[in-house]
Amino acid sequence: MDFLPLFTDLRNKPCLLVGGGQVALRKARLLCKSGAQLRLVAHDILPELSTLCMNSGGECIRGDYGDHLLDEVFLVIAATDDEALNKQVSAACHARQIPVNVVDNPELCSVILPAIIDRSPLVIAVSSGGKSPVLARMMRSRLEASIPASFGRLAQLVGSFRDAVKARFDDIEERRHFWEQTLQGPIAEMVFAGKDKVAAEMLSKAIDKAEVSAGGEVYLIGAGPGDPDLMTFKALRLLQRADVVLYDRLVAPAIVDMCRKDAERVYVGKARADHAVPQQDINKLLVKYAKEGKKVARLKGGDPFIFGRGGEEIEELAEEKIPFQVVPGITAASGCASYSGIPLTHRDYAQSVRFVTGHLKDHSLNLPWAELVHPTQTVVFYMGLVGLPSICAQLIAHGRGGDTPIAVIQQGTTPQQKVVVATLATMIERLAKEPVQAPTLIIVGEVVKLREKLAWYEHYDLANGAV
């Protein structure tokens, strides 16, 4: 994070704007909208800009900029096409520790003006840290389309009842739970329907008779194979509702960072022969936090019910009569295969697919090998890197040809993805030359042949439009 997002109260505060053209006009509109008192200096000043300045209770100075103009100024914006002048303004502001923004020159800035979604009093700011203002504006457009104007009215309603709720609930956690129930229930829906008066009456009654449930709940959330964009809307919504987040080593840090900033984060990662927190202890932690009345998110890589031991966790929750929700995630087989250009099924190569764990409870590889060697079946091995020599040998021994294609995918769907393709007979030798690191996924079957044809985009030259 290059810049810490902050919201600043500019009401009746003097702010200096250096420049009198169209760019300065855009910045002046923003400053005036926030209630700033505008001080403007430039040789040539647009009439509308002059009017804005005077209406804000400020002053227009037609002439040269001087450092004396920084006296008692709260914020400075340099909006000129004079590079030397912009540098002078920036240096003077940095020397006096006055926040300064130099338009389209982030190196000279101590503050960045973001793209803004204004649903006052709800205000959302989007910034690229000055790297790509166009991208920030594109993101603003997307957000504006999904955030109705009624959210501003909802924020107004909540603000008008904050003191009443604070008086009703002494405990901050009770207040938070009350507002969560309110903002996700029929009161909010009344506001969205334009029935603000009805919503206010409902909220007043809810405060009088409110009995906030202190009961905890657990969300088993499939985080997908690694790429944060593969999270579902429901997964993100419940993750951001959680008071406590338990996550394992297969969950990407970018996904963990999507939880509430005040949520407690508990690492319960497990690796082969290195269980940082044993499964039974994880189960007990889920029960413990839920009985404390907390919303608990159990973030699991991939899908909770595909080799994720989610079934074991909800068994204990059910026994303790703790409410829970299970959110499916994109399993590693689907995500890694797609990002590698390998279809798991294909009419010409494979009519079925089988998911197998290469790491059983007793650390053995006692698998039904005779069922895994059908030539028109794709077999996907989870957690099979350590046992790969045995996997290759057993498949060959039970009738699968040594020339059967096999792919080993390292950290699929992430920027660290690496795909090694060989045959059952040659893969171990190939990995000796091109080693991979866990987590990995192994795909065995004729469909692997299609990678060379379907993953052409990995070598696509965007600049020249050629492979």
Q: Does residue 266 belong to any structural domain of this protein?
A: yes
Q: Which of 61, 93, 113 is the last residue of a domain?
A: 113
d(CA 344, CA 446): 9
Asked if 100 and 110 touch (Cβ cutoff 8 Å), the reply is: yes
**pLDDT at residue 11, as a whole number:** 95
Q: Is residue 248 among the annotated active site residues? A: yes
**pLDDT at residue 186, as a whole number:** 85
Give pTM, 2 decimals.
0.68
- Which residue did the predictor score with more confidence, 83 or 463? 83
Check whether residue 345 and residue 325 sit in a common domain: no
What's the whole-number mean pLDDT along residues 151-169? 93
Q: Does residue 250 belong to any structural domain of this protein?
A: yes
Which position among 27, 248, 294, 300 bears the catalytic label? 248
d(CA 359, CA 428): 18
| Dihedral sign for Cα atoms in the order 153, 155, 160, 165 | positive
Check whether residue 293 and residue 361 sit in a common domain: no
Check whether residue 235 and residue 187 sit in a common domain: no
The total of structural domains in the chain comes to 4
Confidence label for 461 from pLDDT (cuts 50, 70 and 90): very low
Q: Is 23 annotated as a binding residue?
A: yes
Q: Which of 160, 187, 209 is the last residue of a domain?
A: 209
Check whether residue 244 and residue 163 sit in a common domain: no
**DSSP bridge pairs for 271:** 274
pLDDT in tens, 56-101: 999 999 999 999 999 999 999 999 999 999 999 999 999 999 999 9
Q: Which of 330, 350, 381 is the last residue of a domain?
A: 330
Give ∠ CA 75-79-82 in degrees, rounded to 5.
125
Helix then strand then coil, in percent of the chain rounded to 5, is: 40, 20, 40
Which position among 13, 87, 196, 270 bears the catalytic label? 270
What's the whole-number mean pLDDT along residues 306-333? 93
Q: Is 66 annotated as a binding residue?
A: no
467 has a pLDDT exceeding 60: no
CATH number at residue 24: 3.40.50.720
**pLDDT at residue 211, as a whole number:** 58
In the chain, the percentage of residues whose pLDDT exceeds 70 is 94
Q: Mean pLDDT in the chain?
A: 90
* Among the ranges given (14-28, 136-150, 191-205), the one the predictor scored with the smallest mean pLDDT: 136-150
Q: Is residue 291 among the annotated active site residues? A: no
Confidence label for 214 from pLDDT (cuts 50, 70 and 90): low
460 has a pLDDT exceeding 60: no
Q: Does residue 128 belong to any structural domain of this protein?
A: no
**pLDDT at residue 212, as a whole number:** 54
d(CA 136, CA 141): 9
298 has a pLDDT exceeding 60: yes
d(CA 465, CA 317): 54
**DSSP bridge pairs for 275:** 270
222 has a pLDDT exceeding 90: yes
Check whether residue 229 and residue 316 sit in a common domain: yes
CATH number at residue 181: 1.10.8
H helix count then E strand count, the chain = 16, 19
pLDDT in tens, 383-401: 999 999 999 999 999 999 9
Confidence label for 193 from pLDDT (cuts 50, 70 and 90): confident
Range of the domain at 33: 1-113
* Among the ranges given (21-35, 207-221, 235-249, 250-264), the one the predictor scored with the smallest mean pLDDT: 207-221
Q: Is 412 annotated as a binding residue?
A: yes
Q: Is 303 annotated as a binding residue?
A: yes
d(CA 411, CA 69): 56
Asked if 405 and 421 touch (Cβ cutoff 8 Å), the reply is: yes
